Structure 1
Amino acid sequence: MSSNGEIEIGDLKIDNEDDVVNPWSVTSASQEGVDYDKLIKRFGSSKIDSELIQRWEKVTGKPVHHLLRRGLFFSHRDVHTILNLVEQGKSFYLYTGRGPSSGSMHIGHLIPFIFTKWIQDIFNVPLVIQMTDDEKFLWKDLTVEETTRLALENAKDIIALGFDVEKTFIFSDYTYMGQNSEFYRNISRIQKCVTFNQVKGIFGFGDSDVIGKIAFPAIQAAPCLSTSFPDIFGTAKVPCLIPCAIDQDPYFRMTRDVAPRLGFSKPALLHSTFIPALQGANTKMSASDTHTAIFLTDTPKQIKNKVECLDKNLQSFFPVRRLKQNA
């Protein structure tokens, strides 16, 4: 903490009363949840406005997805560049991912994947999905074998959404790293472009963090470089679009700095909001706490019990809001 009462998180300085949003923690000081307008300003991204939505519809000739129209995807980086490519008859590919820390995904995890499927369908483009089992081993109290197993189980949930099997590649870091030398070569190229001080500044790593955490961001960055997938793209340098929750943005802020130095386009991004935890909007659904979320493997009885608890939370929350409004 700095002397003026600010909390320092990576390259961001925020007041004690501000929201904390990073790849490993999402909490809000407000019962109403994360202030996304303030987050856009802090992260330096662009708000998805009516102009972008209208242009998207003009380029595609179809209405935008309801997740975009209703603001669940609210922020972006360089999406106009992707639409320019489409207008020019050029291609791009999609990249998103999942860090497997539970045997099943919950409904909050589905948001980026549902939207990614719609983008794949409407533009007929390739998609790569990274299962970061290595990340969860480094950050969670899980064994390598357990994260490998969870990656397989989560991949089943993703496959069930109905992605184009001819244009979708799902891979585990542990498995793919040993099979594809180009993937690891790009990881090494990225690692050489980022200093220890830079990665500490972006992610807030401390001196006591294990070296695996320091090295990991390059692994999540590598799928943004199309040559990491020679079986799909060969040596072509194809632009990339990443739909993801905004807590993953620090990885790609780093990548956007590195990519042009390696001869690639900066990856474009579409950021989603979070599905609030069942206990309240001041944090998101978490795979680490089964009580905060509705999982895809929950039984009807479990879902009923969780919804009943949610209803009680809402009843206790909204009277407080009314009192504040009348004060």
Structure 2
Amino acid sequence: MAEGEQVVPKSEDCDGPNTSVTERLEAIAVGEDEGDVVTPWDVTATSAKGIDYEKLIVKFGCRKLDESLISRMERLTGKPAHVMLKRGLFFAHRDLSLILDRLEQKKPFFLYTGRGPSSGSLHLGHLIPFMFTKYLQEAFNVPLIVQMTDDEKFLWKDLTIEQSQKMTMENMKDIIAVGFDPEKTFIFTDTEYMCPAFYKNILRIWKVVTNNQARAIFGFSGEDSMGKSAFPAIEVAPCFSSSFPLIFNGKKDIPCLIPCAIDQDPYFRLSRDVAPRLKYPKP
């Protein structure tokens, strides 16, 4: 999530002034940054106090979500800030101020979040991003894309495709029960939705990200399946409105805001690195 105007003159500043996202991620992966480990598959704190989120903000190149930005959200939406914002549960961002600029200018944008089913139902921790996303959809009155990564769980877990799909369907019921606007919400599973436009964006992402970059960013080794190295492009593709031509009428310039847990951030740092090369707006 994003921050007020502490000084965000342009979106590139949120990714560091002199280094690309990929270069910084590579430095983290090879050990130039010491401390807590936070990846999509492993979260380990080096201290008994838990993850040091202040250091993580610096390490990941994002910004603290401060009171001035929360106040601006309240002013523009006419709604009180969600308790998860007030209590600091959602604590950091990239370019939220630019999304709020679009809201103020009445320009379109959309929300994107997702779920990789790892159990038959969602517990409270799983539900937190969806509860907050529901607030954002109501406050902003915008479309929402929800990606169900049943393919990811098949690749990483000891599951058959059928088992992963079954858990996905059960998880979708829990997500729908959160109460999203059915007229403005599109939920899809990777194993069942692969329209030509979506797959074309996956191809574009594959072409500009090297194997070395994928290994550095996500820690893949030569022992991992090729499916694992290929998967990040599938989670990045929904960041771009052109992946959903029936929803956005083929427009390529509609940005998205991604409410997610910090362990998913490597995917979206990668997406921000890829976006300019594909001439898409950064999520």
The whole-number CA distance in structure 1 between the counterparts of 2:192 and 2:68 is 42
Counterpart in the other structure of 1:10: 29
Q: Give yes or no for contact 1:10–1:205 (8 Å, CA) kept in 2.
A: no
Q: State the 1:211 CA deviation.
A: 0.4
Identify, as 1 or 2, the structure richer in strand: 1
Counterpart in the other structure of 2:268: 252
- Aligned pair partner of 2:239 in 195, 203, 224: 224
Cα 1:11–1:119 change in 2 (3 A) is: farther
Q: State the 1:57 CA deviation.
A: 1.7
Secondary structure of 1:73's counterpart equals coil
Counterpart in the other structure of 1:181: 196
Counterpart in the other structure of 1:266: 282
Q: State the 1:135 CA deviation.
A: 0.4
Counterpart in the other structure of 1:311: none
Counterpart in the other structure of 2:136: 119
Partner amino acid, structure 2, of 1:252? F
- Aligned pair partner of 1:77 in 82, 88, 94: 94
In the alignment, structure 1 segments of 5+ residues that lack a partner are 1-7, 268-327
Task: Tell me the alpha carbon deviations over residues 77-129 of structure 1, each in whole angstroms, 9 at most, x when there is no partner.
Answer: 11001000011111110000000111011110111100100000111100010
Counterpart in the other structure of 2:212: 197
Q: Give yes or no for contact 1:128–1:169 (8 Å, CA) kept in 2.
A: yes
The whole-number CA distance in structure 1 between the counterparts of 2:79 and 2:172 is 30
The whole-number CA distance in structure 1 between the counterparts of 2:245 and 2:280 is 15
Counterpart in the other structure of 2:228: 213
Question: Is 1:34 the equivalent of 2:51?
Answer: yes
- Aligned pair partner of 2:255 in 231, 239, 255: 239
Q: State the 1:232 CA deviation.
A: 0.5
Fraction of identical pairs, as percent: 63
Q: How many residues align?
A: 256
Q: Give yes or no for contact 1:259–1:266 (8 Å, CA) kept in 2.
A: yes
Task: Look at both structures and tell me which one has the larger radius of gyration over its CA atoms.
Answer: 1
Q: State the 1:50 CA deviation.
A: 1.4
Cα 1:228–1:141 change in 2 (3 A) is: same
Runs of 4+ in 1 over 6 A off after TM superposition: none
Partner amino acid, structure 1, of 2:261? A
The whole-number CA distance in structure 2 between the counterparts of 1:131 and 1:171 is 6
Q: TM-score, normalised by structure 1?
A: 0.76
The whole-number CA distance in structure 1 between the counterparts of 2:198 and 2:235 is 11
In the alignment, structure 2 segments of 5+ residues that lack a partner are 1-26
